[in-house]
Amino acid sequence: MARILLVNDEPDLLELMSMALENAGHVVESTTKGRAVIDIARRFRPDVIGIDWVIPDMSGADVLRELTSTPDLRAIPVVVISALERLESDAKHRGACRVLRKPFRPEQLVGAIADVLAGEPATISR
Amino acid sequence: MSVAYRVVMQTADGYEALAERKQRDELAAAVERQAHAIVDRWLERVRRDAAAARVPLTELRDGIADYLTRLVQLLRSRDEIGSAGAKAWADVAREHAVTRVRLGFDVSQLFRELITLHHSTTELLRADGLLQPYSHTDRLAELIEMAISESIKSYVDFRDYQARRSEAEHIGFLSHELRNPLGAISLAASELRTGPPQARERLLDILDRNVERLRKLVEDVLAAERLDAGEVEVRPVDVTLGILVSDALEWMRATAHAKGIELVARFDPEMRLHVDTKLTLSAIENLLDNAIKYTDDGVVSLDVEDHGDEIAVHVRDNCEGLSAEELRVIFEPFRRAHATKPGTGLGLALVRRAVEVQGGHVTAESLGDRGCHFWFTLPTTHH
């Protein structure tokens, strides 16, 4: 069991992802607002953060930058979730440890989170 | 030929060249002196165009100083046109053209701008008596012509390049728009199979919503293509406004309500129209859909006015406002002002086509942080 924070502007996807992860035994918090991530992360202390690359108020890249430049949150592994192609190297370069491509099946999401928790080296889940 | 004759001839050539050089220098010095006055006069002339195009004057001024500097260099140089100096000026002309594409100028605006610059320059120089020798006028005209042709050519090249690039972006963007609902559908289907039974209703709702999103996307793309290909027949019929919009309005009210915003509609339901119902309804729906999408809190309003031979449909929202550049391209397909909001990038393009194919006009204005105002007119011949 782990604590997972999800950031996504699509409420439906957020709900479905939370459902899949909760069914796998994780505790999930979620938000549709990129600006809220730092506050929630400080309070909720997630083991992994899953960020959608395209969100309305801040881009995934901005959220990632804020996280990696916040000393007490820097160590939390981040999984970037996106439908955009050609994103991997950019997201990795900015400090994401994994990129999960949309659309994905629930077991791929659960698997990606499990790999990150097990400390697997950075890879791209297709 | 005697040596003495050759010397006399060479000296005469030399004098001529010297005289010409002096004239050029005078002309160049005059252009330099007059540079500010030329720019001011040019700006004054272009201002009318700029106001119509909503282009800030600072953006118009940009590039012109370079133009004049190069012009002076060319006038001073003894080279024939087409040499290195002319090439440098052509570079400036290209740079200038690229900024005009970015500002959304059409070719005729660019052309008018350059013609105006030409007139401002020659008028001022003539007023100073500097264009008396015809060689000056000719040379200046030749240089300006060269810049105009170079600017126009670069403009067209760059615009086509932009169009090709944005086409590639559209494809990427559409695939993104397709993947979000597809992703939700595939997740919801898996959850339905393996998840707890109490989640069933929620999952079916999510499936419905996302299938609807996909349907709308596919329909918009197909409708845009049909309109593009000119495969649309306009079939005006007699209808009252109330009958035309009541269903759509109810639907839109629900959508607005779900977002916590208010939809206010003010019109006479008995207003009689003679329009193509499908096209007109699609225009109204897409304008409202757009307004609701970009308003995070506040009010969206629909007002319809009867002006006798035409109707005016106004949609106002409380979005964050749009820049001049965004306004200029907003009715073009896939030019979305807020790339992070969900949308197909086709809604407003469909509005424009649905309105124009019926002989109407559509316009948008930004009211700053108070929101945006979109409206269209449609001719309505009552029978």
- Residue B334: pLDDT band (50, 70, 90) is low
Whether the CB of B184 is below 8 Å from some CB of chain A: the reply is yes
Query: What is the number of residues in chain B?
Result: 383
The CA distance from B271 to the nearest CA of chain A, in Å, is 40
The CA distance from B303 to the nearest CA of chain A, in Å, is 29
List phi, psi (to 5°) of B299: -130, 145
Distance, CA of B150 to CA of B137 (rounded, Å): 20
Are residues A103 and B186, on separate chains, in Cβ contact within 8 Å?
yes
The confidence score (pLDDT) of residue B22 equals 74
Residues above pLDDT 70, as percent of chain B = 74
Sheet of B372-379, strand order: B262-266, B299-306, B310-316, B372-379, B361-366
pLDDT digits (tens, 9 = 90+) for A14-69: 899 999 999 999 999 998 888 889 999 999 999 999 988 765 556 777 888 888 88
Are residues A103 and B183, on separate chains, in Cβ contact within 8 Å?
yes
Q: Is the pLDDT of residue B9 over 80?
A: no
The confidence score (pLDDT) of residue A48 equals 94
In whole angstroms, how far apart are CA A114 and each of A103, A106, B373?
A: 18, 12, 49
Task: Identify the CA nearest to A72 among candidates A49, A41, A30.
Answer: A41
pLDDT digits (tens, 9 = 90+) for B202-227: 899 889 888 887 887 787 777 777 76
Q: H/E/C letters for each residue in B141-190?
A: HHHHHHHHHHHHHHHHHHHHHHHHHHHHHHHHHHHHHHHHHHHHHHHHHH
Are residues A20 and B180, on separate chains, in Cβ contact within 8 Å?
no
The confidence score (pLDDT) of residue B128 equals 72
Beta carbons within 10 angstroms of residue B218's beta carbon = 12
Task: Annotate B240-276 with b (16+ C-beta within 10 A) or e (fewer).
Answer: ebeebbeeebeebbeebeeeebebebebeeebebebb
Cis amide leading into A103 (omega within 30): yes
Calculate ∠ Cα B285-B289-B293, nearest 5°. Answer: 175
The confidence score (pLDDT) of residue B242 equals 92
- Specify the DSSP element, H or E, that contains B75: helix B64-76
Give me the total of CB pairs closer than 8 Å, taking one residue from chain A and one from chain B. Answer: 73
pLDDT digits (tens, 9 = 90+) for B262-306: 999 999 999 998 999 888 998 998 899 889 888 888 899 999 999
**Residue whose pair of structure tokens reads 């309005």 in the numeric block:** B249
Contact B368, B324 (CB under 8 A): no
The CA distance from A82 to the nearest CA of chain B, in Å, is 9
Whether the CB of B190 is below 8 Å from some CB of chain A: the reply is yes
Task: Identify the CA nearest to B157 among candidates B118, B100, B84, B109.
Answer: B100
Distance of CA B113 to the CA centre of its chain: 17
pLDDT digits (tens, 9 = 90+) for B65-85: 677 777 777 777 655 555 666
Give chain B's end-to-end CA distance (angstroms, integer). 93
Contacts of B23 (CB under 8 A, 6+ apart): B133, B135, B136
ipTM: 0.79
- Residue A126: pLDDT band (50, 70, 90) is very low
Question: What average pLDDT score do residues B359-369 get?
Answer: 89
The overall average pLDDT reported for chain B is 77
Q: Which two tokens stand for residue B381?
A: 């011949």
The confidence score (pLDDT) of residue A124 equals 46
Q: Which two tokens stand for residue B187?
A: 């997740």
The CA distance from A15 to the nearest CA of chain B, in Å, is 9
Interface probe with A: pick from B170, B173, B178, B180, most Cβ of A within 10 Å: B180
Beta carbons within 10 angstroms of residue B210's beta carbon = 23
Are residues B188 and A84, on separate chains, in Cβ contact within 8 Å?
no
pLDDT digits (tens, 9 = 90+) for A67-89: 888 898 988 999 888 766 666 66
Are residues B172 and A84, on separate chains, in Cβ contact within 8 Å?
yes
Distance, CA of B373 to CA of B366 (rounded, Å): 6
Are residues A102 and B172, on separate chains, in Cβ contact within 8 Å?
no
Query: Which of chain B's residues have a Cβ under 8 Å away from the Cβ of A104?
Result: 183, 186-187
Beta carbons within 10 angstroms of residue A63's beta carbon = 27
Distance, CA of B48 to CA of B178 (rounded, Å): 43
Are residues B183 and A13, on separate chains, in Cβ contact within 8 Å?
yes
